[in-house]
Amino acid sequence: MSHQDLPPKGGYPALQWKRNLPSRGFRPSIYLAIMGGISLLGCIPLTRGIRERREYQREKAWSRLYLLPLLQAEFDRDFVRRSTALEARERELMKDHPDWADNKPIYNDGRARIPSFAVLEGQKKAYFVYSDESVDVKEAAS
């Protein structure tokens, strides 16, 4: 017959089967609370900046509204100067044509129109919309 060993009295000593790692840092909920606090503290200057930018936009819009009459008057003065220069140039060019009438409207519908013009950047000519001609900017300014 075989002889079987029995456990010692009081049992065998406990085996360490579980990992025994020291905890590092705080619980995740504490980290979450810290990140939430930092985010809330960051929102304060953000909202201040948004309000300030909105106020600057409002101020810019009002300043543009207040400048519109001044800009319109400047445009009108420039238009009168350019149109008189163009009429003088036109009179000079067309003085030998008997069928030409001074200040005759281009369109015969009776409506008053303000001819548009554009000075292209980097160019020395002003192009008028109602004609294919171009005028020297310095000549139109005089």
- 64-83 per-position pLDDT tens digit: 899 988 988 888 888 888 88
Cβ–Cβ under 8 Å, residues 125 and 139: no
Report the number of distinct structural domains present in the chain.
1
Residue 132 lies in a domain: no
Six token digits for residue 40: 């809330």
The domain in which residue 65 lies consists of 26-100
Mean pLDDT of 27-47: 95
Mean pLDDT on 119-128: 55
The answer to the question of residue 107 being in a domain is: no
pTM: 0.43
Residue 63 has pLDDT above 60, yes or no: yes
Answer whether residue 58 is part of any domain: yes
Q: Could you tell me if residue 12 is inside a domain?
A: no
- Distance, CA of 117 to CA of 132 (rounded, Å): 11
Residue 71 lies in a domain: yes
Does a structural domain hold residue 111? no
